[in-house]
Amino acid sequence: MITSFEHNHYQVNCYVVADEASRQCAIIDPACETAPELAELENYVAQSGLTPVMVLLTHAHIDHVAGLRQVCERYSLPVTMHPDGNRLLRQADAYGSIMGFSVKPLDVLEQRYIADGDVLTLGQTLIECRFTPGHCPGSMSFFIKDENAVITGDALFHFSIGRTDLPGGNYDLLIQSLHDKILTLDDDVRVLPGHGIASTVGKERRYNPYLQ
């Protein structure tokens, strides 16, 4: 089961992936900026009888980590991410002051690193880590086979892709990442992006102008 929440003034999609048998869950991109947004996430977890066991990042841009410290501290969990995103995480509070966020330093959080091809166990649900850099260093997508879905962060959107003009962005690398790690999935796999509406791999393969 995958539930999404739209948080902060950049309208980031935060996802909760839950294993129905064990009631364990992973929180992906905790972007809650305000106390009501954090309460919405916490209330959903509590009322659904879920136990968070992982906090995952698709990438460490400030809009995707606005609530990271609160969520990690609330559930006593490390942040799980690709190591290439460490520098962005260290700079998050500085970028926050420029982009309208008030974020305490995040480099105090315990970090757990993942790599391309790693498979994370969430009860009986498996989360496959697919390294998709190009939008920024350390960008990771998460394929959940049991849910027939891939969470792409800002690598891939509905008929669009992530911007590559920010520090560490690389257009050619992003296109290659998407061809190698996302378009190799079946057409009916749902694409759950970091912003905006969902799509499918088949739709993106056929109609995304950047992937032709």
Give the β-pairing of 24-28 and 51-56: parallel
Three-class secondary structure of residue 203 per DSSP: helix
CATH number of 2-211: 3.60.15.10
| Lookup: tokens for 130 | 């697919």
Q: Is the whole model's pTM more than 0.85, yes or no?
A: yes
Question: At residue 98, does pLDDT exceed 80?
Answer: no
Mean pLDDT of 41-60: 98
Q: Give the lowest-confidence range in 1-15, 45-59, 88-102, 157-171.
A: 88-102
Q: Give the lowest-confidence range in 6-20, 50-64, 91-105, 107-121.
A: 91-105
Asked if residues 112 and 145 have their Cβ atoms less than 8 Å apart, the reply is no
| Strand residue runs (E) in 51-139 | 51-56, 79-81, 111-113, 119-122, 125-131
Say which residue the tokens 């998407």 belong to: 178
Our measurement of the distance from residue 74's CA atom to the centroid of its chain's CA atoms, rounded to an integer in Å, reads: 19
Question: At residue 93, does pLDDT exceed 80?
Answer: no
| Lookup: tokens for 167 | 């520090």
